[in-house]
Structure 1
Amino acid sequence: MPDAFVILFFVIVIAGIVSWLVPAGEFDTTDITTLSGETKQVLDASSFRYSDNYHGLVLFDDTGSRTGLANYAFDGMVSGDKWGSAVGVIAFILIVGGAFGIVMQTGAINNGILALISRYQHADHLLIPLLFLLFSLGGAIFGMGEEAIAFCIVLVPLMTSMGYNGIMAVLITYVATQIGFATSWMNPFSVAIAQGIADVPLMSGQTFRIVTWAFFTTFGLLFTLRYAKHIKLNNFSTCKASQNSNMDSSLEEKVATFTTTDKVILLAFFTGITWVMWGVIAHAYYIPQIASQFFFMGIVIGAIACFGGRMKVNDISAAFISGAQSLLPAALIVGMAKGIVLVLGGDDVTSPSVLNTLLYHTGNVLAQTGTVTSAWLMLVFQSIFNFFVASGSGQAAITMPLMAPLADIVGVTRQVAVLAFQLGDGLTNLIIPTSASLIGCLGVAGVSWTTWAKFIAKFCAILFLLASITVVIAVLTGFS
């Protein structure tokens, strides 16, 4: 598959061609009063009209008044302000990524999980549910994904020593993280970015999402336990003596590294997460405040690691840079994806834009199907699009500028559009071969993708059915 940046470039070229073929249009807005008494401006779908004040894409613009093909990257990255897309979201991604880089570099999370594994390695009826829940929380809270590969390395020999196989290790780690990722109520790298772009209060709708997370996680755990029982009954274990010989001693060495410093770091981490949730719920904190909270949490955890002899001051700086660097591609995608919108005339519904014309006609088609079907088609679209751009933050940056105003036109809330993005993006990660994290976990577990696809296909189909039901419920209950 072409790289996401290659795909983006050709999307820009296509957008430029479209800008010459499709006339620009604009809408009016109208004021509405919400249930809380707040007045909001929303798009008036009946006010659409064509405009002659916009012309198609140029190769290069030196006036600063429009976005040309050569300008889309820079213009996209500096567009907006600190409160949203794109510059605010880019800064949010880099700062939060740097903060989590410090947290992960301390090794406290790794050591905590390894200590848990060591303690319960002979009680699989406790270990499997605990690990599945823990990894699902990891996906929900801080977007754990690639980290599952490292834990697969640890869990594959452990699973085989307990009479299971490599597939069990992938289920407990990667599948659990992606279920948590897809149903998260606070993941800063997916739901927060999507809500920021859609102009929805960050981390809003938590109650609905937490219930969704609990349901999907329970379903995933039951599937995993059922498969574990199937292996035990049919003796399908791939266990080999060479894999078991040093398992107990190895884990004893690992658990010995779980010290008081790790405990204090984990306490500070969960305190920081609680602080973020409190700020969002009690004070409606948004991108600038939440990014600052994560940054402060990273500094505090780095200081604890420093006083505990775990890291040096320069190590903290290097970990922050490394964490931010790992998310630099996602940040660049956010900016360049914003360039697509600018090439089409921008996302201001009251200004002439090709995007407005596309939204109007697409909305008219979807409106004929009803709000429920429209929301479900959004889920289908996001599920298919994830095959091409497997990055959650990248997909949010590319699709949400279109899906958010489209939701206004078809009569569903933007919160529902964000939910459709989450479920479509996260759940399809369990099977698409373009997911580097999935392929990495399968490689560590010694499972081919074709074998995995045959095994997980029915499970993914059921998850998509449940996701569809979830979206329908969200529409019918007015989820906002």
Structure 2
Amino acid sequence: MKNVKKRKKKHQFPTAYTVVILVLLLVQILTFFIPAGNYATIQYNSDSNNFTVTEPSGKKIKKPATQKILDKYKVKITINKFKDGTIYKPVAIPNSYKKINQKKPNLYQAVVQFLTSQVQGIGQSIDIIAFVLILGGCIGVVHANGAIDSGMAALSKKIKGKQSLLIILIMGLIGLGGTTFGLAEETMAFYPILIPVFLVAGFDRMTVVATIFLGTSIGTMASTINPFSTVIASNAAGVNFSHALPLRVMMWLVCIITGMIYVLIYANKVKKNPKASFVYNDFAKEDQKYMNEDTKDYNFTWHQKLTLLVFAIAFITMIWGVQSKGWYFTEISVVFLAAGYIMAFISGLNEHQFVKSFVDGASDLLGVALTIGLARAVSIVMEESHTSDTIMNFFSNAVSGMPPLIFIWVMFLVYIVLGFFIQSSSGLAVLSMPIMAPLANVVGIDRASIIDAYNWGQGFISLIAPTGLILMSLMMVNIGFDKWFKFCWKLIVIEFGICLAFLALGLVVY
């Protein structure tokens, strides 16, 4: 009888899908225990030029759109901010929280909600999903006509000895986009193009996701003039966002430089010794072909050059539109769809080759698209169970009356928790600021400190929150969440300390 060696099963970290489902399951279970409740809200209707006050019970009352009404409800926002569209979401009314009589779901209803929310999440994320699939199609065409291979061969000769500048330049520009106009989900378009660029430079896939994702997450965390976080939160708190701008600029510089140094140390370690990579065993063979691109002689055809040019113009148009025109995913999807049509005529591929490459490219990003929809399901369950406001009310009562330094540090922790469950920065701002900002007056600090705690707290948790952008980013480079955490946990500790230090400094400066 032969001795059979039983091979030990290697325990693998769950996939992105499973992580999101586990978070959704946790939230679903919490709905059995967290009481349902609502704050009353007030929202401006531009068509009828009046306010709609929605009571915790759901009853709606029409009120004149005047400053007197806002003062009556102790909403410290000027009427102009509603009328000019700066505040366009329902704003929570302070001290209006009430529990509501909502029957807790039985097991059958909870299971139905658990499944239904996932389908609804995909439906509500269709604009982002469309963008991802169209982008994937365009990338498939760029790969199919050889533009990527030829372009990388040409690039490898130009960046010799300057590889570190890639990280500094790309991370700096993305971080600038994050702090100024909230560049976030749009960065998914950068991954397929930058993966070969970084591999040719001698780095690894972890360096790609670190450069792009940390650039955008640190940028949006240390927001300076981001209209979707700092500006809307300041308006909802009744303060001028420019009041605290110098400290926030300093915070952004310290955080982004710290992030760059962290990534550069790792990237250069990998460049000297590829086996130092956290993902070396996963991609050693797959990525080896990029390491010697400069030894290959590619014929860079005019078809390939034009295809890359059109693709680059689409990127530039996207950034311009998001920054200056307020475009969202429908508009930028149209840009890349138009680029796809142009590529059909200039790529040099015949009709069958073009369609196949486009469909294959879209299918490569289907997993990312599904994860986006599943992550949205978490917010849907929170909304339908009316638990978000209950959590908010609990924390607002818990932190009131603390000493200033302890108060602002605890507020930072509170926003880390809230940011995990409420991923929309603007949604969290208009929900929480009218409730939390007045607490600053109670403990004797500037309301700008509350906005900093909100910004840095919800931004900090985005570094690892499965309900945010990180899982989609990791799927773009095919890296597991466990590898990401192993790479970034030291940076997380450092950034946490920086946030606490700047919150303390804000109490002195403001």
Give the structure-1-normalised TM-score. 0.62
Amino acid at match of 2:103: H
Q: Distance in 2 between matches of 1:114 and 1:469?
A: 43
Q: Distance in 2 between matches of 1:245 and 1:116?
A: 12
Q: Aligned-pair distance for 1:275?
A: 1.9
Over 3 Å counting, the alpha-carbon distance change for 1:152 and 1:37 in structure 2 is closer
Over 3 Å counting, the alpha-carbon distance change for 1:439 and 1:414 in structure 2 is same
Q: Aligned-pair distance for 1:231?
A: 9.5
- Secondary structure (helix, strand or coil) at the match of 2:97 reads strand
Q: Which residue of 1 aligns with 2:346?
A: 308
Identity over aligned pairs, percent: 13
C-alpha contact 2:395 2:414 (8 A) present in aligned 1: no
**Structure 1 residue 405 corresponds to structure 2 residue 431:** yes
**Structure 1 residue 464 corresponds to structure 2 residue 493:** no
Q: Which residue of 2 aligns with 1:54?
A: 102
Q: Which residue of 1 aligns with 2:320?
A: 274
Q: Distance in 2 between matches of 1:214 and 1:255?
A: 40
- Secondary structure (helix, strand or coil) at the match of 1:9 reads helix
Q: Aligned-pair distance for 1:327?
A: 1.2
**Structure 1 residue 181 corresponds to structure 2 residue 219:** no
Over 3 Å counting, the alpha-carbon distance change for 1:174 and 1:45 in structure 2 is same
Q: Which residue of 2 aligns with 1:114?
A: 152
- Secondary structure (helix, strand or coil) at the match of 2:96 reads strand
Q: Which residue of 2 aligns with 1:65?
A: none
**Structure 1 residue 330 corresponds to structure 2 residue 379:** no
Q: Which residue of 1 aligns with 2:170?
A: 134
Q: Distance in 2 between matches of 1:87 and 1:246?
A: 38
Over 3 Å counting, the alpha-carbon distance change for 1:153 and 1:276 in structure 2 is closer
| Pairing 1:67-82 to 2, within 5 Å after superposition | 69-74=111-116
Q: Distance in 2 between matches of 1:87 and 1:475?
A: 43
Q: Distance in 2 between matches of 1:246 and 1:77?
A: 42
Over 3 Å counting, the alpha-carbon distance change for 1:374 and 1:118 in structure 2 is same
Q: Which residue of 2 aligns with 1:7?
A: 23
Query: Which segment is superposed worse, 409-418 or 327-336?
Result: 409-418
Q: CA offsets per residue over residues 428-449 of structure 1, 9 Å max, x none?
A: 89xxx99993997889xxxx95
Count of aligned pairs between the two proteins: 403
Gaps of 5+ in 1: 62-67, 79-85, 160-167, 281-288, 347-353, 386-394
Q: Aligned-pair distance for 1:104?
A: 2.8
**Structure 1 residue 363 corresponds to structure 2 residue 396:** yes
Which of these residues, 265, 290, 294, is aligned with residue 328 of structure 2?
290
Q: Which residue of 2 aligns with 1:351?
A: none
Q: Aligned-pair distance for 1:419?
A: 4.9
C-alpha contact 2:36 2:99 (8 A) present in aligned 1: yes
Q: Which residue of 1 aligns with 2:279?
A: none
Gaps of 5+ in 2: 1-13, 43-72, 277-284, 438-446
| Pairing 1:22-171 to 2, within 5 Å after superposition | 22=35, 24=37, 26-27=39-40, 30=73, 32=75, 34=77, 37-39=80-82, 42-51=91-100, 53-59=101-107, 69-74=111-116, 89-107=124-142, 114=152, 117-122=155-160, 124=161, 126-134=162-170, 137=173, 141=183, 142=185, 144=187, 155=198, 158-159=201-202, 169=204
Q: Distance in 1 between matches of 2:78 and 2:321?
A: 27
Q: Aligned-pair distance for 1:259?
A: 1.3
Which of these residues, 257, 269, 276, is aligned with residue 218 of structure 1?
257
Amino acid at match of 2:259: G
Cα RMSD (Å) of the superposition? Answer: 5.4
Q: Aligned-pair distance for 1:182?
A: 0.6
**Structure 1 residue 437 corresponds to structure 2 residue 496:** no
- Secondary structure (helix, strand or coil) at the match of 1:304 reads helix
Query: Which segment is superposed worse, 264-273 or 216-225?
Result: 216-225
Over 3 Å counting, the alpha-carbon distance change for 1:245 and 1:93 in structure 2 is closer
Q: Distance in 2 between matches of 1:116 and 1:441?
A: 26
Amino acid at match of 1:127: Q
**Structure 1 residue 247 corresponds to structure 2 residue 280:** no
C-alpha contact 1:179 1:426 (8 A) present in aligned 2: yes
Amino acid at match of 2:298: E
Q: Distance in 1 between matches of 2:108 and 2:266?
A: 58
Give the structure-2-normalised TM-score. 0.59
Q: CA offsets per residue over residues 323-364 of structure 1, 9 Å max, x none?
A: 466312221331353123313xx3xxxxxxx54344322221
Over 3 Å counting, the alpha-carbon distance change for 1:95 and 1:138 in structure 2 is farther
Which of these residues, 337, 340, 345, is aligned with residue 299 of structure 1?
337
- Secondary structure (helix, strand or coil) at the match of 1:47 reads coil
C-alpha contact 1:182 1:426 (8 A) present in aligned 2: yes
Over 3 Å counting, the alpha-carbon distance change for 1:173 and 1:23 in structure 2 is closer
C-alpha contact 1:375 1:475 (8 A) present in aligned 2: no
Q: Aligned-pair distance for 1:299?
A: 1.5
C-alpha contact 2:118 2:373 (8 A) present in aligned 1: no
